[in-house]
Every structure is written in structure tokens, then in C-alpha cells.
Structure 1
Amino acid sequence: MVWPYLLLLAVAVGGHLWRRGRRERAHAEQLADALAAGLNEPPTLHPVVDPALCIGSGSCVKVCPEHALGMVNGKATLINASACIGHGACHAACPFDAISLVFGTEKRGLDIPLLKPNFETNVPGLFIAGELGGMGLIRKAAEQGRQAMEAIAVRGQAKAPGDDSELDVVIVGAGPAGLSAGLSAIDKGLRYRIIEQENSLGGSIFHYPRQKVAMTAPVKLALVGHVKFTEVSKEKLLEFWHGVVLKFQLAIHFGERMQAIEQHGDSFVVTTSRGSVKTRSVLLAIGRRGTPRTLDVPGEELPKVAYRLIDPAQYAGQAVLVVGGGDSALEAAIALAETPKTRVTLSYRSEAFSRVKAKNRDQLEQLRGRGRIDVRLRSQVQSISPDAVKLRVDDGSTLSLPNHAVIVCAGGQLPTPLLKDIGIRFETKHGTA
């Protein structure tokens, strides 16, 4: 009577092992493709797995919404490092604490500013919270913004009385750290200004894919109290932040870009794209995406120019130019080409796409073959007008294309040189926390 049950057990175990082996082979192929393309260098905070502690449960792989982790040879492995954004869900899910979150790798160091426990830099009055300071986790970035404002409030009490022209703090960035800091500034009665270079709040969260898991732990916010989020999508989290901004009348100056910070005695002058403001303290709450690299061509200031594709559907039926040669450019062009009636041109200054995922290159070639994407290699944008764009092509001539929108995918520039110029000290991390 026991044999039928043993047979069923053997079939179940055999099926499980077969499926697991198939997944591991697929993950190993992904890792090999990433290594071959030179794309396995993580951009920011990322997991490192201790194989001596990893039991191969796969719990970290299951909770990773970017599919950055996979199982290789029975152990969790970072197989798609370029997709990892460091939210730390894998670390929280590991039952044996086999995952550490670190910055940089042996090959690629990451500059992280040196901060005091209150998040003040070595320059008195200049604070850093969130991703730029080395913290990509949303809840911790929000907590840092709140704690930094505690120190800023104390510093503000030493301000000379009667100086109404000086703010207590300028907060740069409207992501989790900046929004949390703004709430704390209101709570403490500080004169503050939040500037955000983009026209949307949420920082890096705004650029997450749809329905991406954005938070994995509760967080404490001034005025709001404890927010009991465990796992919440990008859309729900942004909806929550919008509600908070409206309820507490959080003043955010969108489309205003920080250009310079100058120290004047115990205060600062922050120069932005809209002028200058004097402030007692500055809190940098910006992500590691930095300021988008621009083309520096006439017409780039037009509202139809964007630096990241958020929703391909909004371009349905339009003529769109995508500029760039990395994965973000290819993925934007592919997504647009799959949108009904959208005419897509991809411009890249080099003669070939290098260091891109094989999957993206193959999809691009398929769509190009079907006439869905017009690929213009060895071309550069010369000028942009309301209804057209001019490209300088490889033979030196100029090509004019009808155009409704331009998506520039040329990466970003961190303000590290600017911060070093005013004396902030950094340390380079090579795979350490």
C-alpha cells in the first residue's frame, strides 16, 4: 500500500527538480549574456550573496520585481545587475541573512559622500539624505530626510534675528527624502523651499515601471505619523504622496534645477534655473540618476522634449525621435514602436550599438525589419522646432523629419564635481556597505 504514495512523491520531487533545473539553466544563460555585453555592473546599492549562508530557497528571487536575481548552481546570484535599483526586498526576504546590500564593485567604485550621524557633510550646514548619500531604500531615505531636518532646525535657531531674506533650508529634490524633509520643515515651523528639476514628484519612484513594488516596510513621517506600507505599487505610493502634498500644502517648485551652491559665511546662496536664494542650510535629497545630459542644441527647451519615456501610450499616433545608443534608448524606441500608429526614429551618433542587451538588439532589428523603427546611426540632432527635427547624418548633410516629440536617453550627470568644489569629502566604495 505504501508504493503508490512513494511513486507519487517521486513524481512530485522529480517534477520539482526538473523545473528548478530548467529555471537555473535559463538564469545561467541570462548571466552569461549580461557578462558578455558588459552589463553586469550595478548602478547603485545592490545585493551581494554569501554562498556559505545561502540555502538556495529562492525567496529573494521571488520578491525581486526587476528579475535582477536568479538561481545559478543552487545559489542566489545577481544575473541582471544593471536592472537592480537597490530597494532591498531581497535582503528582507532572505531567511538566513545571506544577503548584504553594498555599493560599488571591485571593478567599478562608487563615490559616496562622508556624512555625520545627523547626515551633515563636512561642510557645516550642508546635508545629504537619500540615494545620493548611499541610501536607495525608500523607507530609510524618508527617515533620513526627517532626521536631517531635526539637525537643520537646531542650526536654524542660531540664525541672526531679523534676517527675513534668508530661508532656514533649501531642499533639493522631491523624492521620498525631500518630501519627508519638507513635512518636517512644516512641522518645525521652518522657512523652506523645495526645488525639483523635473515636473513630477517622487524622484526615482516616478520612473519605476508600472505596478513595480516600491516599498517593503512601514515608515514614519512628520505630521502624517506611521505609514504602514508593506508592499505597495509605484502607482499607490505616488497617489499617497500626492495626497500628502495636497493635505499639508507642501510647496514644491517644479521644473527648477539647482545649478550652483556658494558658501557665504555661515549661510549659502543656491543658484537655480530661476534665480538665487539665500539659505541657512541646504539639504540635498537627490537620486543618483543626476541631471539628465542634454543635447545643447537649439529648440531643446521646447516642452515636447523629454529625458525619459514614462508612458508610451501618450505618444500614440505621433512622430517621435529617440536619441541615444544604450539600453534605455533601445527600450524606449521598442516600446514606442509597439504603440499603435506611432512613427519612431532612433538616432545614435556611433556606427553601432555596443554594450546593450542581446534581447534589446534582437527586438530592435525585428522592428526595424518590419519598418516600425527608422534607425539612423552616425547621426546627431542639429536643431529642434515645434513640428520638426533636423539631424546631421554621416555624409555631412542635414535630414529634416516631421516630429511631435523627442525622447533623449543620454544618461545623467551627478553633481559630484560641484559638491567637491565646495569642499565635501567623498569616499569610493568597492563592494562595501
Structure 2
Amino acid sequence: MLKEEVFDILIIGGGPIGIACALECKKRNWNYLVIEKGALTNSLFNYPKNMTFFSTSEKLEINEIPFISNNPKPNRDEALEYYRRVTTSNQLNMHLFETVLDIEKSSETFHIRTNKAKYTAKKVIVSTGFYDIPKLLNVPGENLDKVSHYYKEAHNYALQNVVVVGASNSAVDAALEIWRKGGRVTMVIRGAQIGDRVKYWVRPDIVNRIEEGSIKAYFNAKIEAIKPDEVIINTENGYVNLPNDFVVALTGYLPNFELLENSGVLLSEDERSIPQYDSETMESNVEGLYLAGVVCGGKETHKWFIENSRIHAKLITKHLDELQF
């Protein structure tokens, strides 16, 4: 039987907000551990290689540690370097490639089971983000090898017929980059236009490429089925069969609701599925279990970002200070 390691605070999620929480714990000499199921800042690591942030570097800083970028808006590699250096230079206590399976509260402590070990903690902070579970199309053929819900780079799509599903920043970036690398791109968009939240310096580019016919776009359309050599879409003018080699379905992602609910965290009963928490302390309805970062938004994954959820770490530790933890 595995012996349970004991900590004051166990932080689930090693992204920027999880790192911010760890820094606040270290300042107070609390015994803490961060558990991350993938690589350090796993969500950022899985972003497209050429991704550029909306925000300027100072808005991505944590714990007042300067983030120096060579660009007006930092890119993925600069962000990875920044958060890696923050973690290593502060010698944060972190376990990577370890997955939390369940969180169970008994009396005044929490028991956390992972795929590698068991832990006991007085408090738990869940900062798991939302990038790990893609929203599925739920159509026949979605399980084919040619279908991906993530986009990394364009090279393997050169000279291929590629359907990009969605009209958000990720879908627009992928469509433009694949087209520029020689892919034949068709966008399938459920709404009537490119998404309102697409980066302002990118939106004119995609609109112009669509208008000139370089990138084909079907608006008010959806995929009905995916086959080995074609995609069937339902459009305003009826069904269309598109010759196809690859489908890049960038329709959004969801938090790990199962982990939250199994831990006792209540979700709103409407379609947003927002977890219940106190906005001043970030404590959930489960006493001693706190939420931090974009997981707080439920299905409203556009609500929280690094820049506006950095404060969560300070709110949580302020509350613990007041409790004389």
C-alpha cells in the first residue's frame, strides 16, 4: 500500500496560474506540491508553434517577475521560456506527467490519488485550465486518423485538401498558416461570420483571403460526416461533398468537469456549467477546495485568461492568511 505524502496545500495544474499559486505558497513557507498531468505549462506547450498572444508581456507576468519579450506581443516560445525560468529559478516543488484521478475530503483533510501516488493535504487548489478536453463534432468519421482537434504546425498539410472547422482565433490562425504553406484550405463555420474575438490584426487578413477566394469558407454550415477521402457538409444551399485529406476541428475545449463534480464542486445548472466559488476568496462550495484560473469560467472559456486570473493566487492566499492557516 502506498504511503500518503502530506502537504499543507496541493495545487492541481502546472500552468501559469498554478505556478503563481506555488510562488505565493513558497513566500509563506507553506509545504506545497504542484501536480501537472503533462509537461510544465502543458496547455501552452500544446499551442501552435507560431502562436502570438493577445496580450503584451507585462500582462502575462506573475509575482511581479519581469517578462522580457523581443516582440510587442510575446509568442509561445517566449512564454514557455519565461514560465520555465520562473519555475526553475524559484525551485518550485512540482511533479510533472502525473495525473490526478480523484480528490476526496474526509473531516479536515483531502486525500488525492494520482496514477503514481497518494497524497494528503489540508487545502487543495484546482487550476486545471480547459485545454485538455476538445469539444467534439459528434459526427460519423470523427475518429479517423486524419481528424485532429489540435493544431501544431502547417508543414504536414502542404499540398493537401484541408478542412478547418471553426472561426475562432485558433481556427483562423491555422487556416492562414496552412494556406501560406501550400495547403488547399476550406473553412466550415457554424455562424454567419468570422468570430468577433479574433485578434484585430488577424481579422482583416482572413476576411481578405476569403473574399479573394484564396481560402474557401462555408458560413452557416456544419459537418455531417467525415469519410476517408471526403467531408460532407450541410450548407444553406444544401449538402456539399468536399475532397479531403485532413480535418482540423478547432471548435473549442472544456474544463475537466468530471474531476470537479467528483470532488463535490457544484456546477451551475444552465448551459454554462460554471463551478460554484466565492469570487472574493476563490473557495468553492467544498470548504478548503479553491479554484484558480480559467477553470472558473466553466464552458465560458473566453471569460478568464492569464492576465485577468493572475490575481486568483493572491486572493486564495489572502483568505488563508486571514484564516491564520
What TM bracket, shorter-length normalisation? Answer: 0.5 to 0.7
CA contact (8 A) 1:175 1:201 kept: yes
Deviation (angstroms), 1:331? 4.5
Provide the rounded CA distance (Å) in 1 between the counterparts of 2:202 and 2:213: 16
Aligned position for 2:80: 238
Structure 1: gaps of 5 or more residues: 1-161, 221-225
- What is the correspondence of 1:28-47 to structure 2 with a 5 Å cutoff? none
Provide the rounded CA distance (Å) in 2 between the counterparts of 1:302 and 1:425: 43
Residue 296 to residue 202, structure 1, CA distance change in 2 (3 Å)? same
Residue 244 to residue 423, structure 1, CA distance change in 2 (3 Å)? closer
In structure 2, what residue type is equivalent to 1:368?
A: I
Which of 425, 428, 433 does residue 278 from structure 2 map onto?
425
In structure 1, what residue type is equivalent to 2:181?
A: P
Provide the rounded CA distance (Å) in 2 between the counterparts of 1:217 and 1:200: 16
- What is the correspondence of 1:137-156 to structure 2 with a 5 Å cutoff? none
Provide the rounded CA distance (Å) in 2 between the counterparts of 1:379 and 1:276: 47
In structure 2, what residue type is equivalent to 1:209?
A: T
Aligned position for 2:13: 173
**Residue 283 in structure 1 maps to residue 125 in structure 2:** yes
Provide the rounded CA distance (Å) in 1 between the counterparts of 2:80 and 2:204: 34
Provide the rounded CA distance (Å) in 2 between the counterparts of 1:200 and 1:296: 31
Aligned position for 2:222: 380
Q: Using CA pairs under 8 Å that are at least 6 residues apart, name the structure with larger relative contact order, 1 or 2.
A: 2
Deviation (angstroms), 1:305? 1.7
TM-score (norm: length of structure 2): 0.53
Which of 92, 97, 112 does residue 253 from structure 1 map onto?
97
CA contact (8 A) 2:3 2:118 kept: no
Deviation (angstroms), 1:383? 5.4
Provide the rounded CA distance (Å) in 2 between the counterparts of 1:389 and 1:260: 41
Provide the rounded CA distance (Å) in 2 between the counterparts of 1:329 and 1:402: 17
Structure 2: gaps of 5 or more residues: 268-274, 281-296, 298-302, 304-310, 312-325
Q: Deviations over 1:37-84 (max 9, x none)?
A: xxxxxxxxxxxxxxxxxxxxxxxxxxxxxxxxxxxxxxxxxxxxxxxx
In structure 2, what residue type is equivalent to 1:306?
A: H
Which of the pair is proportionally richer in helix?
Answer: 1
- 1:346 match: secondary structure: strand
Provide the rounded CA distance (Å) in 1 between the counterparts of 2:102 and 2:96: 19
Aligned position for 2:3: 164
Aligned position for 2:272: none
**Which stretch has the larger CA shift, 288-297 or 327-336?**
288-297
Q: Deviations over 1:145-202 (max 9, x none)?
A: xxxxxxxxxxxxxxxxx982466454332222323555768x8665652235xx6626
Q: How many residues align?
A: 254
TM-score (norm: length of structure 1): 0.42
- What is the correspondence of 1:371-410 to structure 2 with a 5 Å cutoff? 371-382=213-224, 390-394=231-235, 399=241, 401-410=243-252
In structure 2, what residue type is equivalent to 1:406?
A: V
Aligned position for 2:165: 323
Aligned position for 1:342: 183
Aligned position for 1:47: none
Aligned position for 1:333: 175
Aligned position for 1:214: 57
Q: Percent identity?
A: 18
Larger Rg over CA atoms:
1
CA contact (8 A) 2:160 2:246 kept: yes
Residue 426 to residue 212, structure 1, CA distance change in 2 (3 Å)? closer
CA contact (8 A) 1:348 1:378 kept: yes
- What is the correspondence of 1:68-83 to structure 2 with a 5 Å cutoff? none
CA contact (8 A) 2:67 2:82 kept: no
